Amino acid sequence: MPPGVRAPLFVVGCPRSGTGLLHQVLRLHADLAWVTPVSNWICGKSWFRTVPPTAAAGLERGLDRLPRPLVPPFLRGPYDGSLNVPGLPETREGHSIWNRFCRSEPHHAMSESDATASIRAEVSEVVAWHLKRHGRPRFINKMPRHALRLRFLHALFPQARFLHVVRDGRAVAASILKRRRSDYGTTGRWWGARPPGWREQLSEPPIRQAAWMWKTILHTVEQDANALPADALHTVTYEQFTREPEKTLRTIFTWADLLPERFFDTGATDHLSKIRPARDTWTDRLTSGQQAELTQLQPTLERYGYDPAMP
């Protein structure tokens, strides 16, 4: 592992759980480097080493001065949950990067057996490249499908920290259907992370598919956490974060061994006012029949402190 690559922070969770918003806030910490649209493009290529991180930073500054329509979509933000911070590069999950090392078929799950020496060396170089690009000592990356890869990532980075974001599964299911409808014009097409067994769910109604994804991903995180050091995983709910962002962030920074003042003394708190408490809009967006299908989530909801009798 190249010198300087220490304890990367991975934000994971079921898609539509608020991982994007939390990641957008966390990367405002003065010690964290992240994947930008430009670095996602560059480091998604095997020749990324030929591009100095300083050159990437210059390209980003140039793109920032262009009218948005002139910037190619693959080099453009904002991403989900964007805070629209002026002068600060947007984020990307890094699909172009991770797709070079991680499987996409038949599912997204990976384990320590997939962490070959060559993958470990190259991913470490990619992270080190980002540290130089931002001039910061720690790396943060958000990708929901990484919730199926905790053991793989731990094998790559034994000091890695995993921040697991959980949101009410009923709200997640409703949001997944909304995203399917937005992206595909139908709710009948699979979208998001692919846990093992996802193809067998395709014959089920879309609402059951979304519910299955949520509870399966949470169960996978719970199981794989047993193979990690005791302090490697920290779970936070989206509702808690949006209700008490400052308190939640202080807890996260302490757990992740990041100095809270490197966030709170830099003006980053100005952006916390953009965060609004989570609302239970799923009760209006799902039919009574769809809501009835979600009773299967009751045990998992209770385990994470949600009231399954609501509404």
Show Cβ contacts of residue 109 under 8 Å, excluding neighbours closer than 6 positions.
148, 149, 195, 196, 220
Residue 4: predicted pLDDT: 53
Residue 16: predicted pLDDT: 96
Residue numbers in the chain where pLDDT is lower than 50:
1-2
Residue 1: predicted pLDDT: 46
64-99: burial string, b at 16+ Cβ within 10 Å, e else: eeeeeeeeeeebbbebbbebebeebbbbbbbebbbe
The pTM (predicted TM-score) of the whole model is 0.95
Q: Percentage of residues in the chain with pLDDT exceeding 90?
A: 85
The CATH architecture of the domain made up of 9-303 is 3-Layer(aba) Sandwich (3.40)
Q: What ranges do the domains of the chain cover?
A: 9-303
